[in-house]
Amino acid sequence: MEVVFLSSEVVPFAKTGGLADVGRALPDALAEAGLKVNVFMPLYGTVETKKSGIKKIKTLKLSLGAKKYVYEICGKKEKGVSFYFIKQKTFFDREGIYGSSLGDYPDNAGRFIFFQKAALHSLKSLKIKADVIHLNDWQTALVPKFISKKSCLPTVLTVHNLAYQGEYDAKLARYAGLKKSELLYGSRFNCLAYGISNASAVTTVSPAYAKEMKTKKFGCGLEDFLKKRGQYFKGILNGLDYSLWNPQSDPAIAASYSASSPEGKDKCKKALQKEMDLPQTDAMLVSFVGRLAMQKGMDILVPALQKLISGKIQFVMLGTGDAYYHRVLTALAKRFPKNFALRLDFDNDLAHRIYAGSDLFLMPSQYEPCGLGQMIAFSYGAVPVVNKTGGLMDTVSEYSPVKKTGTGFLLRDYSASALEQALRKAMSIYAAPGSFRELSVRCMRQRFSWKRSALKYIRLYQKLISESVVAARRIQGEK
Ligand code: GLC
């Protein structure tokens, strides 16, 4: 089986969020399961082509609207996956992926329409015979429009975050060759809505989020489109790449450890306290790594932190985000230097050391399609404290000190007081000898393998392929 996989970001070439990790790990897992996998992404100006060994393959021409554009296909092969890059100066040779400090690029619709068309256009010259095309998010959601109906080529669209839909002025629809009647949002055209309605199947990144997406509260206006897809819409949980996130073999951390010999974790905590200029005491160390934004729960995290900060607790936060939270958190860190260390930065190695050195990991997201942080935290034995939503709900279960079951702490509702209460419960367990280490070790034993997720996608591909064969026969019969 041969898959063409389209993603606007792929690790290590370009990343703004979790999509990039999936854009890498899922193709790897599919290839390991024996599939032929071709990944396509735009070649942004920031991709380090020389360092990554990306080479030019071909120059081609493609029209978009009334204009003809020259573009190059570049590529490289890694671990059995072929990566292809669409290089086009006007659209992609820029510093940003989606925008600059001034905001989103105004021509994003055109940029990604070009990307989708070029990826499909280049398949023939690359001699790729796809059995299925796997799309990710709005940037690739118009592909069902661009493949001929006759080919009956099945498409799977994975939604990583329903809030980002690619909704544009109807004028732009002409690039996509969409008619007025196909504009799904009155006078606006909505890329994600189009893909949700027209891909052969739609998936999202956890079963719980799939359910939430069909409600008014989480549906972002697309709930009815999703409900209509019936059994062709489902959630498949993401996995974690344990070759990157494993305290037993992590070169970035102070000491290695594992569930069967967890002692090294104490060293990692001491080293982290030292690095962050926090007193090297045995206070419970709580961390947050991620975007400092409302979606990630900042509006409840900040007040809960303010309440607890002077106690026997230490906080470490790493990330960047909204200017407002930068200000508030910087002021707090200045006031409580012994309890709160803040790094307004994007630092992958430091993130590793924070996971390894923390007792508790905070992820009180308002909504979370899947979430990667809690899975990483598990792997490093940092016990997750999460809101009961999406992938967080599918991966973390409430700890019971009596039954000695569960893997973390869930908020009773989305509020600062619920977060404070969950942290107080964690603190009391932390204070009781023995139980916390046992809980932390149970976390380390959790496994969310990409292999399992990949097999679910393969089953879905197989089903769609066999249905498309039937459809193709029908079309031929009609002739
Ligand atoms: C988005 C979601 C996140 C998910 C990731 C990968 O970033 O917000 O929850 O883990 O996509 O699917």
Q: With a 6 A CB cut-off, is 18 part of the ligand 1 pocket?
A: yes
Distance 21 CA to ligand 1 centre (A): 9
Instruction: Go through the chain and tell me how many residues it has.
Output: 479
Q: Which of 41, 59, 180 is nearest to 114 (CA)?
A: 41
Distance 238 CA to ligand 1 centre (A): 9
- Is 292 inside a domain boundary? yes
Q: How many CB atoms lie within 10 A of CB 445?
A: 13
* Helix H or strand E segment including 133: strand 132-136
- Region of 77 please: left (phi>0), alpha (psi -120 to 50) or beta: beta
- Is 438 inside a domain boundary? yes
- Is 226 inside a domain boundary? yes
Per-residue pLDDT, averaged over 411-440, amounts to 95
* Bridge partners for 75 per DSSP: 55, 84
Question: How does pLDDT run across 282-296, given as a tens digit for each residue?
Answer: 999 999 999 999 999
In this structure, are 422 and 467 located in the same domain? no
Per-residue confidence at 173, pLDDT binned at 50, 70, 90? Answer: confident
- Is 69 inside a domain boundary? yes
Q: With a 6 A CB cut-off, is 408 part of the ligand 1 pocket?
A: no
Atom of ligand 1 nearest to the CA of 390: 9
Provide CB contacts within 8 A for 334, sequence distance 6+.
none
pLDDT of residue 479: 59
pLDDT of residue 477: 78
Dist CA 165 CA 282 (whole Å): 46
User: How many angstroms from the chain centroid is the CA of residue 61?
Assistant: 33
- Is 256 inside a domain boundary? no
Dist CA 247 CA 240 (whole Å): 13
pLDDT of residue 26: 98
Q: Are 322 and 290 in contact (CB under 8 A)?
A: no
In this structure, are 14 and 112 located in the same domain? yes
- Region of 164 please: left (phi>0), alpha (psi -120 to 50) or beta: beta
Per-residue confidence at 470, pLDDT binned at 50, 70, 90? Answer: confident
Q: With a 6 A CB cut-off, is 22 part of the ligand 1 pocket?
A: yes
Q: With a 6 A CB cut-off, is 208 part of the ligand 1 pocket?
A: no
In this structure, are 462 and 436 located in the same domain? no
Got the DSSP string for 452-474? HHHHHHHHHHHHHHHHHHHHHHH
In this structure, are 217 and 321 located in the same domain? no
Dist CA 378 CA 375 (whole Å): 5
Per-residue confidence at 316, pLDDT binned at 50, 70, 90? Answer: very high
Per-residue pLDDT, averaged over 443-455, amounts to 97
Atom of ligand 1 nearest to the CA of 369: 9
77 pLDDT above the threshold of 80: yes
Please report, as a single letter, which amino acid is at residue 384: P
Burial of 397: CB neighbours in 10 Å, binned 0-12, 13-18, 19+: middle
Atom of ligand 1 nearest to the CA of 365: 9
Q: With a 6 A CB cut-off, is 368 part of the ligand 1 pocket?
A: yes
Per-residue confidence at 469, pLDDT binned at 50, 70, 90? Answer: confident
- Is 255 inside a domain boundary? no
In this structure, are 156 and 281 located in the same domain? no
53 pLDDT above the threshold of 70: yes
Q: What angle do CA 278, 385, 382 make, to 5 degrees?
A: 55
Per-residue pLDDT, averaged over 298-324, amounts to 95
pLDDT of residue 183: 77
Dist CA 453 CA 27 (whole Å): 11
Question: How does pLDDT run across 232-272, given as a tens digit for each residue?
Answer: 999 999 999 999 999 999 999 999 999 999 999 999 999 99
In this structure, are 405 and 468 located in the same domain? no
- Is 467 inside a domain boundary? yes
In this structure, are 121 and 72 located in the same domain? yes
325 pLDDT above the threshold of 70: yes
Distance 20 CA to ligand 1 centre (A): 9
Dist CA 285 CA 278 (whole Å): 10
302: which 2 tokens?
């900040």
Q: With a 6 A CB cut-off, is 9 part of the ligand 1 pocket?
A: no
pTM given for the model: 0.95
Q: With a 6 A CB cut-off, is 160 part of the ligand 1 pocket?
A: yes
Provide CB contacts within 8 A for 269, sequence distance 6+.
285, 356, 357, 358, 359
- Is 250 inside a domain boundary? no
Per-residue pLDDT, averaged over 141-169, amounts to 94
Which domain range does residue 348 map to? Answer: 264-444
In this structure, are 32 and 125 located in the same domain? yes
In this structure, are 186 and 87 located in the same domain? yes
Distance 205 CA to ligand 1 centre (A): 7
In this structure, the residue with its CA closest to atom 10 of ligand 1 is 371
Proportion of the chain above pLDDT 70, given as a percent: 100
313 in helix, strand or coil? strand
Dist CA 63 CA 69 (whole Å): 6
pLDDT of residue 149: 82
454: which 2 tokens?
């990949």
Q: How many CB atoms lie within 10 A of CB 433?
A: 7
In this structure, are 19 and 117 located in the same domain? yes
Got the DSSP string for 36-87? EEEEEEE--TTS-HHHHT-EEEEEEEEEETTEEEEEEEEEEEETTEEEEEEE
In this structure, the residue with its CA closest to atom 5 of ligand 1 is 18
Please report, as a single letter, which amino acid is at residue 407: T
pLDDT of residue 311: 77
Atom of ligand 1 nearest to the CA of 295: 8
Assign residue 418 the CATH number of its domain.
3.40.50.2000
Please report, as a single letter, which amino acid is at residue 294: M
100 in helix, strand or coil? strand
Separate counts of helices (H) and strands (E) for the chain = 18, 19
Identify the weakest region by mean pLDDT among 222-226, 348-352, 401-405.
401-405
Per-residue pLDDT, averaged over 117-141, amounts to 97
In this structure, are 316 and 363 located in the same domain? yes
Distance 213 CA to ligand 1 centre (A): 14
In this structure, are 176 and 300 located in the same domain? no
Got the DSSP string for 394-452? HH--B-BTTTTB-SBEE-SSSSHHHHHHHHHHHHHHHHSTTHHHHHHHHHHH----HHH
Proportion of the chain above pLDDT 90, given as a percent: 88
pLDDT of residue 186: 76
User: How many angstroms from the chain centroid is the CA of residue 273?
Assistant: 29
24: which 2 tokens?
């890498």
Atom of ligand 1 nearest to the CA of 372: 10
Dist CA 156 CA 4 (whole Å): 10
Q: Which of 287, 295, 370, 284 is nearest to 325 (CA)?
A: 295
Structurally, the chain folds into a number of domains equal to 2
336: which 2 tokens?
């409580």
Per-residue confidence at 185, pLDDT binned at 50, 70, 90? Answer: confident
